[in-house]
Structure formats: C-alpha cells, structure tokens
C-alpha cells in the first residue's frame, strides 16, 4: 500500500495539537465546459490578477484566478453529501439544527468540521487542516475568456419586435472557455491516512465549480504529485510560473494537456531537493494511492470507511460534550436523515 510510504508525515490518530507534518498535493484543474468564477453575484468581472508570466520570463500578464473558496466550498459539499447519506452529520448543541455550511451553527463534531474547520458563534473554533491558495490559469485571461451578449427575446420568439427593431443587449457575460488549465498546490497539515483518503476523494470526485453549476462549471481534477515534508512547498503561483517557463513560447489556447502535465511534473521533480522535503511519491505510487482512495470510496467500502473515519474523533467529541454538559447543555447525537 503506497499510503504507507507517506507514514512519516501522516498522523496515526487525530490530535488537537499540530506536529509539523505536511502533505502537499499538486492538482491540475481543467475546465470541461464554460465556467464562471466571479467574486460576488452577476455583472462582476471574472476573478483575475496581474502577475509575472514565468519565474524567468518577467512579462506581466493577467491570469484568471480560481480562489480558495471556489475550490474548497464545492469539495466540502461533496464530502458532506456523503456524510449526510451515511448519517454522520451531527446537530448543533445550542439550536438543534443539523450541521450546515455557511451558517453560524456548525456541529463541531462531524468529519467535515474536524478536518476543514469551523468558526463557531459560541466562541469555539477549529482551524482547517487543509490549506489552499488561489490557483492561477497557465494562459493569460485574454486567451481563455469568451464573452457572449444575451439579448432580450420578444414574445414572438425572435430578437426583433413586430416593427423589425432589434432588441437591446441585456447583459454581456464573460465565461472561462472549456479546456482551460489551473495549477494548484493543496497543503494538508497533520492528517491521518483516512483523512487523506477523504480529502483526495473530495478533490477527485467533485465535478462542478463556480456559478450556476447545474449548467456550467464542469471541471476535471487530476493529481500530478504528492509530497511529504516538514514545511510548505512552493506556492501555486510559483508552480504556474515555473511550468510556463518550461512550456516555452508561443503558447496558444487550448494547450495540449499531456505536454502540460509533463512540463508540470518536470518542475515538481526539482522540489525533492527543496529544503524540508522528505519524499515524493513515484508515478506508480501515486497511481496506487489514487486506486486506494477509489477503493475506500467504492460502493462496497464507503460506509465502513466513512464510519471508521467519523469514529476516530469520538474521544474528542466526548471531551467537547462533557465540557458543554458542565455548562448545563445537552449531549450531541447523530441525526437520523433520510438517505
Ligand atoms: Zn459539522
């Protein structure tokens, strides 16, 4: 089992105190349909930043940005759907509501709360052990953004009224084209083997990101590398810049994904020599790791796997429940939900 190869940087059990163990995943995210990452609401432009094109290429280009939140929120929701289906979400002690994202009452007891963290209104807090950063597109925004104008349609079903006047443009909407690549570095702090499987499953099985995701936002994630270390590895920005240098010029959308992965792997192969890095999984070890994750998430294994993971926090739940009981509050129990 290749997950054993990572044992020096895996926690044997969940603990409240950090111990300086880092696992880094290098993720290639590719759009498979039109995708929209906006800061807030419609009408806002797509998220982008001006940055240096490469590490050695010092031209300034505008790159699209997939923010931390746009990555993590759908991935958490994916995992939580399964926690819900296997009845592993808890209720919040104070108001009795089922754990949910983006509310003031996380349950503080479920796998998601222990792993991705929470900030509770009541003073408690759990830091996330999944550190993400903004991911950048390889190519400049000008190459990978399309826009379309949505015209008003008259009741006769055309864009002209009965006098033949053209309708006025209602809205110009920018979108990220299909086949656009983002490189991303995800850092995991002091996670156990089962937590690692849970996180990788969330990354690999989440397929929709960004706005109005029932119609757009299809993305495919691939893990190109996994490292163990005692510190953080280079950032997503450094990775995208170094890969851009290796790819050379001129680059055109759409990029060949095989050339891109080869270039990226060439860059990260050098990370082995970076300060604090203890190991990199080989290509075959990485394939084994992905197979291991898929097996644990399979129909036959998933129930066992998620329940075992959830069970691993039990001692900490009891401590938390005792504390709350001492303050005159009730004990948390898992909630029955229809699956
Ligand atoms: Zn929770």
Residue 294 Cα to ligand 1 midpoint, Å, equals: 24
Per-residue pLDDT band at 315 (split at 50, 70, 90): very high
pLDDT in tens, 151-168: 656 666 666 667 776 655
Residue 337: DSSP 8-state:
-
Residue 293 Cα to ligand 1 midpoint, Å, equals: 22
Nearest to 180 by CA among 141, 235, 224: 141
Residue 61: beta bridge partners?
51
Residue 252 Cα to ligand 1 midpoint, Å, equals: 44
Per-residue pLDDT band at 150 (split at 50, 70, 90): low
Residue 80 Cα to ligand 1 midpoint, Å, equals: 9
**Structure tokens given for 109:** 């007891």
Residue 125 Cα to ligand 1 midpoint, Å, equals: 12
| pLDDT above 90 coverage of the chain, percent | 70
Residue 73 Cα to ligand 1 midpoint, Å, equals: 14
Per-residue pLDDT band at 331 (split at 50, 70, 90): very low
Residue 113 Cα to ligand 1 midpoint, Å, equals: 4
Q: Give CA angle at 219 (6, 258), nearest 5°.
A: 70
Residues 6+ positions from 117 with CB-CB distance below 8 Å? 125, 126, 127, 128, 129
What confidence score (pLDDT) does residue 249 get?
A: 76
CA 305 to chain centroid, in Å, comes to 21
CA 79 to chain centroid, in Å, comes to 11
The model carries a pTM of 0.88
Q: Give yes or no for residue 136 having a pLDDT over 70.
A: yes
Locate the DSSP E strands across the chain: 22-31, 48-52, 60-66, 118-119, 125-126, 130-131, 135-140, 145-151, 169-176, 181-189, 219-229, 277-280
Q: Which residues surround ligand 1, an ion (CB under 5 A)?
A: 99, 106-107, 110, 113
Beta-carbon count within 10 A of 29 CB = 21
What confidence score (pLDDT) does residue 189 get?
A: 96
For tokens 């008003």, name the residue: 152
Residue 123 Cα to ligand 1 midpoint, Å, equals: 15
What confidence score (pLDDT) does residue 338 get?
A: 34
pLDDT in tens, 216-226: 899 999 999 99
Q: What does the pLDDT average to over 44-59? A: 94
Cis status of the peptide bond prior to 250, with omega within 30 of 0? yes
pLDDT in tens, 53-65: 999 999 999 999 9
């Amino acid at each position: 089992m290749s997950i054993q190869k990572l044992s020096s940087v895996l926690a044997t059990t969940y603990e409240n105190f950090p111990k300086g163990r880092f696992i880094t995943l290098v993720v290639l995210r590719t759009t498979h349909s039109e995708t929209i990452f906006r800061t807030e609401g419609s009408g806002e432009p797509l998220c982008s930043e001006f940055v240096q094109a490469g590490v050695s290429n010092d031209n300034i280009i505008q790159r699209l940005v997939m923010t931390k939140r746009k990555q993590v929120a759908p991935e958490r929701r994916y995992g939580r759907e399964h926690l819900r289906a296997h009845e592993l979400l808890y209720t919040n002690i104070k108001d009795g509501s089922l754990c949910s994202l983006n509310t003031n009452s996380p349950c503080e007891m479920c796998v998601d709360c222990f792993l991705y963290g929470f900030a509770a209104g009541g003073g408690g807090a759990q830091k996330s052990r999944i550190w993400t950063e903004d991911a950048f597109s390889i190519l400049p925004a000008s190459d990978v953004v399309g826009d379309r104008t949505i015209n008003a349609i008259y009741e006769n079903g055309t864009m002209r009224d009965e006098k033949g006047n053209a309708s006025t443009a209602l809205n110009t909407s920018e979108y990220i084209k299909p086949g656009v690549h983002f490189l991303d570095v995800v850092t995991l702090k002091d996670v156990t083997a089962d937590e690692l499987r849970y996180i990788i499953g969330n990354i690999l099985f989440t397929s929709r990101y960004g706005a109005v995701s029932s119609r757009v936002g299809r993305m495919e994630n691939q893990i190109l590398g996994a490292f163990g270390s005692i510190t953080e590895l280079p950032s997503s920005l450094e990775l995208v810049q170094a890969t851009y240098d290796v790819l050379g010029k001129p680059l055109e959308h759409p990029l060949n994904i095989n050339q891109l992965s080869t270039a990226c792997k060439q860059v990260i192969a050098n990370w082995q020599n970076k300060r604090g890095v203890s190991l990199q999984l080989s290509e075959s070890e990485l394939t084994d790791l992905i197979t291991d994750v898929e097996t644990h998430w399979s129909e036959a294994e998933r129930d066992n796997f998620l329940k075992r993971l959830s069970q691993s926090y039990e001692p900490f739940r009891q401590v938390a429940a005792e504390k709350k009981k001492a303050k005159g509050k009730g004990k948390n129990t898992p909630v029955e939900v229809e699956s």
